[in-house]
Structure 1
């Protein structure tokens, strides 16, 4: 099986440091077309292709753009979330590295659709090596008249800014990301007000993921409706996935929705040493887990098919764990990440992560009691229902799903029964 080429069609086809090279393969043709259209028609095109947000929440992107357009207010803002702090997830990195001008073009189109005056790309600290690449793309786009005032003579003004975070996973959450750009501590805030009404600097704001935005120029030029012909009826088109763990060739791949999980793993060279897959986690560290059975591996990668077996698309990460790692050790590793990344602002997440880490250590040592196992599950449920932001709400997805999939592991004495 070979990876698809829709979103990644430009990869390797132009010099990523040269806007002229990008324009030679049709770059900014989509923007030229977009500014002749009504913004609502562009949002409708995205909705017709059933594009769901690629950052993890899977919200209808066309609907999101229509809602953002409808908000009254001046100096609207577009934000590109390039934080990508989810472990196992690195597909946005490839879109930035191999097609930076497409992302810039997508941001300008989004600004036109929403009537925004400013765009912000918020990039994770660990991607500092790509700052010069994006800064150069922004500078060249401005010199060619694609950024600034009266873009393409349409009376449309738009500026683009590049910001880097400080390496906090929680800043992938919209309100924490906004506070970080504002120079405040990157901690989530209560909603409402929703950011589409009062976001960055209290201005109406629309926030999208790198992959979500990067699709837009391609969709505008898809006269043959190739995107809609790929995937399934409910999960249209393609998805960027990043496959990591115990595979021979970890990497990011564009696949049509409906591809079986085993075929996606094959793209990454299969499992190291031909070993048995004991566990899969989809959607990054906050994703749910499943056993590596034939039934699971034969599941098509779609929103609906994955949901039927208790998994989610999430951020597009696929972690493959072979038989060398126990379920308990995997959960301990995952919990270490969330204990480190918790911002400490809300009680359920701050205290819950501490106690669950302790319970997992007792499970590993074989000293946990049945009562403590029940308490651990209860704390995880409280976190998922009452935490302030998505970090706390999803931090125990792996634990709760593992308790369902691998009940034999969660018995008094723990490791002795695994």
Structure 2
């Protein structure tokens, strides 16, 4: 137990050796450290077994004093996982398997020869790159919220402390008043990273000013956007940063209780958060009389059932209280009357991850990054038709073009860029003409999209934009809480129109219906889910109306995606192997061995199983004319 700030400083000094090789990649030592990504993606690809294999082999070869292997958080380059990084060599291995461990030890650790087949290959130059810092994927990133992911072992509090962890909390508890903390945060310009971009310092200030002896600090870890996993990665790779930030927030607003509301589908994040909370309590960094300063603050975990609407703060609060997760009209705002009617401050994970480092390095330092009204960095989950898929943290003001073509490595397969969707189901599609737009709250809003929590889905010429709009509407209809008619009924009607269009049953009048109904829903819905749900429709109609008209008037899908406007046929190249017939789930294919087969179009459900099974590909999907 740490009984004073001086005790924390001693632990910090004693622990700094743990990170020596990782922070001094030019160090000349006889020892190496091996870090293995243990985020959810790599974890599912056996990274835990890779760590075990390394340690078993090192022990078997009597090399435990020459090298050690640890888990770490997500490196961000998720498509190339599991990732193994060797220090101080700074060598970055990708797509590592358990069977590769022997070769890495034998060649790299024992002979000093890099295992080239495990290196990253640049999609543009086709050259192999051995260090993380020479990859375009990391070139323009500035990892602040993700600063410890890929550096420390998330299950060891000593490593977090060694990298200046809890220093900000200790300084604040001993030297500052709550209003000082609020003003410092205001000076930094930090805005909420959950979607709306509300100034964090102002939110803390309102909660501080609200009367009451009982207040709550709440972390929104209910990440629900399709394809978004920023918050999960931070909790898995750096849980102590969230604990420290919440304790700072509790001191600033006058709260002694914090709650992390996290979706139950995040078992690894939950596990590591529980470990971190237990360690923080053991070290007297949570609980009663923290660091002997007289400040009490404790944390509790509450599980969400995965409802997208519970990302909205009032719906989240309703869920914590044990009610159905439905939004509540504002005002009063949660900062005035929130959880159990008490003043409550709700921040999401990424917002909180920035806070300790803002107090370590100063508000002026943080405010120097980004743009005039959007300070700092933003984490995006870059996915879709892009060469480099993963988490990227970039300074505000960088352009979409830089993210897609430099960090992302361009469009996969040499296809043409078509659009990028930012903001998930709440955002809009951005086309080629707006790729040089700087990424900040105001600029994205001006072109009909939004920052959102940070999903960024890249689409190419093979994507159907009507189908994309239908995908997002299907999601929001499923996730609507049903409290207000505009969202519950209106979005359902929008989805039905889109379904008719993609089935070839649309009418020209449907375009105006879509536009008018979308505007009505935006204006009359109770919460952000309903107010932003029509955005994908409005943006795709604005930029890709020709695709809608092709579906409605010509009854065809230009991208060949909408199954009801396509049919599978077998050409004369069929060799009669019968694999397609055996794969068909509805027995729609007939034919004798070594003779051309035929598809019964009445039975065919257009699942594509025949195309996948065919070894010579005479099966084609063609437009219905």
- TM-score band by shorter chain is over 0.9
Query: Cα deviation per residue 1:45-91 (whole Å; 9 max; x = unaligned)?
Result: 22212211100011111111111110001210010000010113211
User: TM-score scaled to structure 2, two decimals?
Assistant: 0.64
User: In the aligned structure 2, how far is the partner of 1:25 from the partner of 1:52?
Assistant: 25
Query: Cα deviation per residue 1:270-315 (whole Å; 9 max; x = unaligned)?
Result: 2211211212111112111122x1x322222122332332222121
1:152 is matched with: 291
1:134 is matched with: 273
1:23/1:362 CA distance change after superposition, 3 Å: same
Work out which of the residue numbers 52, 58, 63 in structure 1 matches 2:197. 58
User: In the aligned structure 2, how far is the partner of 1:362 from the partner of 1:192?
Assistant: 40
How big is the shift at 1:415? Answer: 4.8
Work out which of the residue numbers 265, 281, 290 in structure 1 matches 2:430. 290
Structure 2 residue runs of 5 or longer lacking an equivalent are 1-135, 559-625
Q: Does 1:249 align with 2:377?
A: no
Note if contact 1:247-1:270 (Cα within 8 Å) is conserved in structure 2: yes
1:209/1:224 CA distance change after superposition, 3 Å: closer
How big is the shift at 1:94? Answer: 1.6
Work out which of the residue numbers 474, 481, 497 in structure 2 matches 1:336. 474
Work out which of the residue numbers 472, 487, 490 in structure 2 matches 1:349. 487
How big is the shift at 1:367? Answer: 2.8
Q: Does 1:327 align with 2:426?
A: no
Larger CA deviation: 226-235 vs 281-290: 226-235
2:143 is matched with: 5
2:38 is matched with: none
How big is the shift at 1:416? Answer: 4.0
Note if contact 2:172-2:248 (Cα within 8 Å) is conserved in structure 1: yes
1:319/1:414 CA distance change after superposition, 3 Å: farther
User: In the aligned structure 2, how far is the partner of 1:383 from the partner of 1:303?
Assistant: 23
User: In the aligned structure 1, how far is the partner of 2:409 from the partner of 2:285?
Assistant: 41
User: RMSD of aligned C-alpha atoms?
Assistant: 1.7
User: TM-score scaled to structure 1, two decimals?
Assistant: 0.95
- For residue 221 of structure 1, give the secondary structure of its aligned residue in structure 2: helix
How big is the shift at 1:373? Answer: 2.2
How many residues align? The count is 416
Residues 257-268 of structure 1 mapped to structure 2, 5 A cutoff = 257-265=396-404, 266-268=406-408
Note if contact 1:409-1:415 (Cα within 8 Å) is conserved in structure 2: no
How big is the shift at 1:224? Answer: 8.8
User: In the aligned structure 2, how far is the partner of 1:216 from the partner of 1:160?
Assistant: 17
User: In the aligned structure 1, how far is the partner of 2:323 from the partner of 2:374?
Assistant: 38
How big is the shift at 1:146? Answer: 1.2
2:26 is matched with: none
Note if contact 1:88-1:285 (Cα within 8 Å) is conserved in structure 2: no
Q: Does 1:360 align with 2:498?
A: yes
Q: Does 1:103 align with 2:242?
A: yes
Note if contact 2:187-2:363 (Cα within 8 Å) is conserved in structure 1: no
Larger CA deviation: 252-261 vs 41-50: 41-50
Larger CA deviation: 1-10 vs 83-92: 1-10
User: In the aligned structure 1, how far is the partner of 2:270 from the partner of 2:434?
Assistant: 39
Residues 10-409 of structure 1 mapped to structure 2, 5 A cutoff = 10-35=148-173, 36-223=175-362, 225-265=364-404, 266-291=406-431, 293=432, 295-409=433-547
**Considering only CA atoms, is the larger Rg found in Structure 1 or Structure 2?**
2
User: In the aligned structure 2, how far is the partner of 1:100 from the partner of 1:306?
Assistant: 30
User: In the aligned structure 2, how far is the partner of 1:130 from the partner of 1:16?
Assistant: 10
Note if contact 1:367-1:413 (Cα within 8 Å) is conserved in structure 2: no
Question: Taking CA–CA contacts closer than 8 Å with sequence separation of 6 or more, which of the two structures ends up with the larger relative contact order?
Answer: 1
1:33/1:344 CA distance change after superposition, 3 Å: same
How big is the shift at 1:112? Answer: 0.5
Note if contact 2:155-2:276 (Cα within 8 Å) is conserved in structure 1: yes
User: In the aligned structure 1, how far is the partner of 2:553 from the partner of 2:522?
Assistant: 26
User: In the aligned structure 2, how far is the partner of 1:417 from the partner of 1:102?
Assistant: 48
1:127/1:417 CA distance change after superposition, 3 Å: closer
Query: Cα deviation per residue 1:172-195 (whole Å; 9 max; x = unaligned)?
Result: 111111111111211222223321
User: In the aligned structure 2, how far is the partner of 1:349 from the partner of 1:403?
Assistant: 20
1:224/1:49 CA distance change after superposition, 3 Å: closer
User: In the aligned structure 2, how far is the partner of 1:298 from the partner of 1:223?
Assistant: 31
